[in-house]
Structure 1
Amino acid sequence: MVQLTAYGGRDDHIYRAAIMQSGGPILYGAQGGANKTQAAFDQIVSQVGCASSTDRLECLRAVPFSSLNATMNGNLSSTAGFGVVTDGDFVQDYGSAQLGRGQFTKVPIIIGANSDEGASFGTYGINTTDQFEASLSALPESYRKDLLKAYPDDLRVNVIQSLGAQRPAPQFGYQFRRVATYSGDYVFIAPARKTAHTWASHGLLTYKFRFNADQKVFAPELRVSHFKEIPFVFRNIEGVGSRPDIKPFTGLGQNYIDLAYFMSSTWASFIYDLDPNTWEGRSKKIPRWPKYNVRDPQDFVFEANVTSHAERDTYRKEGMDLINKNAVEVYSR
């Protein structure tokens, strides 16, 4: 998630605004208590030689960056324990519960996700409905049955448009598109919709997006998965920071570079004066990005091979409503 604090504007006023990409106030997984991260902390301090220190936190601060970085990126079994926890101080309750009570920082926002987020998080190798249900074994049985109905094995409604009407490559699994559809909604897309709806229902300036531009340097199953919008938002045409063997814009046409210019300018426009549509040079051929409205919810789809456009934010409504209604009871977040 990216959060930005903006200063300035047309009238020299000062304000704050937030941009949330692939994340938001509802955690992507279960939100535990203060002890959730203890095992991860204990493992790290042990590996860097701080376990016996009387002040282990202060000891960690003195560890050279190279050593701490190698440890954090090494073979640690418990680092998944790091994340948002309910500590009764900074985080008072589940994110969804606080949203429901209106307990959040009321600033203008952009929030959104990529079409195929779940391709980065879904389980590989699921070929049958029984296997898909088994992968959901941590969830209540009756709820699993509801999910199976809301997320059918139907390529007409499942994500990964790069595949058209085709099944994924065998290593991903026959029903991977079904798995990715649910996984993306569960992890990011349903919470983003809930967040946008909540913000707008409080009369706050809200813009929601869906990134949908594929990049042929990746496998078709992963072209619009997690993180793929980042080079466009920062207009990183050269792929600085990417793996040496991956340059996001390699082999792509001018339309992709134009999209990077469009997205980066749109983000900057929102930061500058809280309106993503007002930057100088914006093509009049591209529809305006509408404010999010609970009576007629629309997001903005960023495309490369067709014109970017607004769409009704009601797709997969049954599934996302099911996920959002059970945020606390089933998902503990």
Structure 2
Amino acid sequence: MPHDASELARRLAREAEAVCRHYLSNGKREGRYWLVGDVHNTPGRSLFVRLQDSPKGPAGKWTDAATSEHGDLLDIIRQSLGLRDFREVAEEARRFLNLPRTEPQPVSKPVRPRVAIGSQEAARRLFAISGPIEGTIVETYLRHRGIAHVYHGSNLRFQPRCYYRPDEHLPTETWPAMIACVTNLDGQITGVHRTWLDPDGFDRIRLGKAPIDTPRRAMGDLLGNAVRFGPADDDVLVAGEGIETMLSLRCVVPTLSMASALSANHLAAMSLSSSLRRLYIARDADAAGDTVQALLSQRAESSGIEAIPLSPRSGDFNEDLHVFGLDALRATLRIQLVPEDVDRFLLPSTTLG
């Protein structure tokens, strides 16, 4: 009996509804179709699987209306279980169909462990399956924040359908998102930060973020690590809280290495490279900013690192850029950077715009 992919797909198609009930259990039948959120068994109605042969196509074929992805039931098995090797997919299909294995296996194959939600491995996978931000809603979002030139060094990516779960009792949603990788001093990815975005446009209240309760979340190992723009082992570094804050500063000092620790507490605990000789602390203008400046300055100076605060005119440097513009931000930095760093890093006003 042939066991190639086409034969397995045909045999699965004869039992299309049973396959869907088993691997896409969060969906339901409606007429001649099985409806579910996506191939990962997310609740919803975006993906539809044809359950019977019809003039529109054979049973077992599916299409995701949100992404235009399509395939057969072997693809459903592969993606719903996170399998990579076709041998694993075929084995699982044969098991479902109660077909004999092609080779005797006296020892059962261990089940591949699931990646824990929020783990470093889950963070790495999310970053790996995300794409460039150029030409996407991420660039639009940042442009509305005043950041026209995004000097991110490939540490920002775009994920068009990033999972968002409001809480453990509500179904998972998907929204487009800006994905930023969190790395340690050795450049290893330890986590990611997600900013879910509104695909319907810019809103003055949410500033382009998705209309959900918590449009910003991080996962993985964050303590001591940061979203980095530029080398982690440079001799001069600017460290601050928000991603947009650091990207705003990069608009006028694009070759100066920066690190976004994502919160005041994480900024105070951020690891400092042994090669660092001067640390600029891009503080937010609030009580937490005062505290973190004192704590991080003390840590830096105890390690022989010069610590210099950078203070915005308003709440933070992204607000400064958005409200006052590039030339004003450049003027603010010019009087706060040490002279040698002005000459080394600060873009002349003729190049701004």
Same fold (TM over 0.5): no
Relative to total residues, which structure has the larger strand share, 1 or 2?
2
TM-score, structure 1 as length reference: 0.25
Relative to total residues, which structure has the larger helix share, 1 or 2?
1
TM-score, structure 2 as length reference: 0.24
Higher relative contact order (CA 8 A, sep 6+): 1
